[in-house]
């Protein structure tokens, strides 16, 4: 099942903060976050793993609540370059032979205005 | 180091025609993926290859076939294109489970 992202869209002024949420109905092993600008490929931001490990950029922060099967991505002191569509991808189990098969949410459009 | 490359960048097909989308990566990654993205939507997995020599279906495999030619290359074939397959197709690669995926620039396919 596809994870559910909220909100669907958010408009910010430069310097403002926002939170993007990703919820799953299935138990998660990891949550991945990507950003996509219009007409471009998605770019990796962050992976949060069961057990608390995180891999990703220093300037992006996120949390993973294993009990609630939710992840939140925090956009702090937003810059114009933060504009784009943010996708979460969920991984339900880690079986080496299966690669990391991600199921992506529908996306959250973020527009940062001057 | 080109990362993930895809050809062609744009393609227009007529209903019933066939074509192959090519993808190659030079990062020595084990896993490769094909996604489609419809306008305003998220990414949906078509097929993936966890390692050289293996392929498996994703969420939306109908109407597609894949070949993992070697560790570097993973192709996607449309045998008889339909208007419903109009989309942007992304190839991605990853070192393995719970690692980031690197995406190619995409192929914009229109089927008339």
Q: pLDDT tens, B83-111?
A: 999 999 999 999 987 889 999 999 999 99
Q: What is the pLDDT of residue A28?
A: 84
B39 Cβ contact partners less than 8 Å away, ≥ 6 residues apart: none
Confidence of residue B27 (pLDDT cuts 50, 70, 90): very high
Asked if A41's CB is within 8 angstroms of B104's CB, the reply is yes
Rounded to an integer, what distance in angstroms lies between the CA atom of residue B22 and that of residue B8?
7
Asked if B97's CB is within 8 angstroms of A102's CB, the reply is no
Q: H/E element holding A32?
A: strand A30-36
Mean pLDDT computed over every residue of chain A: 89
The minimal CB distance from A100 to the residues B41, B49, B97 is found for: B97
The Cα of B43 is separated from the nearest Cα of chain A by a number of Å equal to 6
The minimal CB distance from A107 to the residues B42, B44, B49 is found for: B42
The Cα of A4 is separated from the nearest Cα of chain B by a number of Å equal to 11
Rounded to an integer, what distance in angstroms lies between the CA atom of residue A48 and that of residue B73?
29
């Amino acid at each position: 099942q596809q994870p559910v992202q909220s909100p669907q869209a958010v408009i910010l002024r430069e310097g403002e903060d926002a939170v993007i949420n990703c919820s799953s109905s299935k138990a998660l092993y990891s949550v991945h976050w990507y950003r996509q600008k219009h007409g471009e490929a998605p770019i990796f931001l962050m992976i949060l793993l069961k057990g608390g490990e995180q891999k990703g950029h220093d300037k992006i922060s996120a949390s993973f609540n294993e009990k609630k099967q939710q992840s939140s991505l925090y956009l702090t002191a937003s810059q114009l370059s933060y504009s784009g569509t943010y996708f979460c991808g969920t991984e339900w189990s880690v079986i080496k032979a299966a690669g990391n098969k991600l199921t992506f949410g529908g996306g959250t459009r973020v527009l940062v205005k001057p | 180091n080109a990362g993930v490359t895809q050809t062609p960048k744009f393609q227009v097909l007529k209903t019933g025609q066939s074509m192959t989308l090519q993808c190659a990566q030079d990062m020595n990654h084990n896993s490769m993926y094909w996604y489609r993205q419809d306008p305003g939507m998220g990414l949906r997995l078509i097929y993936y290859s966890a390692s050289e020599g293996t392929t498996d279906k994703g969420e939306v495999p109908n109407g597609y076939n894949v070949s993992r030619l070697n560790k570097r290359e993973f192709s996607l074939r449309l045998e008889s294109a339909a208007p419903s397959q109009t989309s942007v197709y992304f190839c991605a690669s990853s070192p393995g489970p719970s690692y980031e995926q690197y995406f190619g620039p995409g192929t914009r396919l229109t089927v008339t």
